[in-house]
């Protein structure tokens, strides 16, 4: 009875030992009699007790490896301290266990030697302005080197680059000088823009003033032209009215004369009156038309008639 109980306990222990529960994102490397047998994934796995054993538990999640700060000499012989971190993921657990003694240590040594090689080809200023270039190149080299170990280097980031204290002080002075220079440039640029704006404003003001004066001169000239036109039109209308009045006067005189039925004697007297007025003028010479002699003859006749009438009266 005791032997049966012991047997049951032994069977239970063997069954319990043959069951392996693997957690998510982990794998077990199983060896059988000291040789690689298989890779157990997440879940329940069965092994043969005392024959199979778990060689290693490998995480297949993305892992980080913090590389210790390293002193690196740049191309211009300046010693700087570079601190970076590597992100990697195991893609083949068997090769990661059997391909290298310590995967993390191998990645760390590779990162140290590679960063020294990359930064050693750059000047100090380039190391600060080319962090992305350093990260990409370091990631490429590490990924190629660790591929045979079943590892995928996904990303490399430089956390910090520290130059020596004297170099840092010199860089700070240079940076301050650069800031002061930019400030002066910006101030000068602002003054230049202000002067340009003021000059542009004065220019526009003068242009507007000139245009206003031009418009005013045009309007004054137009007003004067319109006034002269109106004055000329008024004078023309006045002359026309005077001419019409004179014509009306002449028509009236002519009509009155025609209504009075003048004879030759009246016409002759009127002609003499006209000659008298002409003789009283300022001219030195008076030209008498040929027809006027007939009038003079008529005047002489009238004079004789008057003398005869006087004699008859006596």
pLDDT (tens digit per residue) in 217-262:
888 888 888 888 888 888 888 888 888 888 787 777 667 666 766 5
Could you give phi then psi for residue 107, rounded to 5 degrees?
-65, -40
Per-domain residue ranges of the chain: 2-58, 63-163, 169-261, 262-313
- CATH class assigned to 63-163: alpha beta
pLDDT at 233: 86
Q: What is the pLDDT of residues 262-288, one digit of tens each?
A: 566 655 666 566 556 555 655 544 445
Question: Per-residue pLDDT averaged across 14-20, rounded?
Answer: 81
How many other β-carbons are positioned within 10 Å of the β-carbon of residue 91? 14
- Give me the residues paired with residue 32 across strands: 35, 52
**Average pLDDT score, the chain:** 81
Which tops the pLDDT comparison, 262 or 78? 78
pLDDT at 314: 45
68-80: buried (b, 16+ CB within 10 Å) or exposed (e) per residue? Answer: eebebebeeebeb
Minimum mean pLDDT among 70-74, 134-138, 180-184, 270-274: which range? 270-274
- Give me the residues paired with residue 73 across strands: 79
pLDDT at 304: 54
CA–CA distances in Å: residue 133 to residues 126, 130, 226: 10, 5, 83
Residue 143 host element (H or E): helix 131-146
* d(C-alpha 88, C-alpha 66), whole Å: 11
* d(C-alpha 29, C-alpha 178), whole Å: 59
Question: Does residue 213 have a pLDDT over 50?
Answer: yes
Question: Does residue 153 have a pLDDT over 70?
Answer: yes
Question: Per-residue pLDDT averaged across 117-145, rounded?
Answer: 89
Q: Tell me, rounded to whole angstroms, the distance of Cα 113 from its chain centroid.
A: 49
Give the tokens for residue 96.
């990661």
pLDDT at 277: 57
């Amino acid at each position: 009875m005791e032997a049966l109980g012991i047997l049951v306990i032994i069977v239970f222990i063997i069954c319990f030992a043959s069951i392996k529960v693997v957690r998510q994102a982990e794998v077990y490397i199983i060896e059988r009699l000291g040789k690689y047998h298989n890779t157990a994934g997440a879940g329940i796995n069965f092994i043969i007790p005392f024959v199979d054993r778990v060689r290693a538990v490998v995480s297949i999640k993305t892992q980080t490896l913090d590389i210790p700060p390293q002193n690196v000499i740049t191309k211009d012989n300046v010693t700087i301290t570079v601190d970076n971190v590597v992100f990697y993921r195991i893609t083949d657990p068997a090769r990661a266990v059997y391909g290298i003694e310590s995967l993390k240590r191998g990645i760390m040594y590779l990162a140290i030697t590679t960063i020294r090689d990359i930064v050693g080809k750059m000047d100090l200023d380039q190391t600060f302005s080319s962090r992305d270039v350093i990260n990409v190149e370091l990631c490429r080299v590490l990924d190629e080197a660790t591929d045979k170990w079943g590892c995928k280097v996904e990303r490399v980031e430089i956390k910090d680059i520290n130059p020596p204290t004297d170099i840092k002080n010199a860089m700070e002075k240079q940076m301050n000088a650069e800031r002061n220079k930019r400030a002066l440039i910006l101030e000068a640029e602002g003054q230049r823009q202000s002067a340009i704006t003021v000059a542009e404003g004065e220019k526009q003001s003068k242009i507007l003033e000139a245009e206003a004066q031009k418009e005013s001169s045009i309007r004054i000239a137009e007003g004067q032209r319109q006034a002269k036109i109106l004055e000329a039109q008024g004078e023309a209308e006045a002359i026309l009215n005077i001419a019409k009045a004179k014509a009306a006067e002449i028509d009236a005189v002519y009509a009155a004369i025609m209504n009075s039925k003048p004879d030759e004697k009246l016409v002759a007297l009127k002609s003499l009156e006209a000659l008298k007025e002409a003789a009283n003028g300022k001219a030195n010479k008076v030209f008498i038309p040929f027809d006027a002699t007939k009038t003079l003859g008529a005047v002489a006749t009238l004079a004789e008639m008057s003398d005869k009438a006087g004699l008859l009266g006596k």
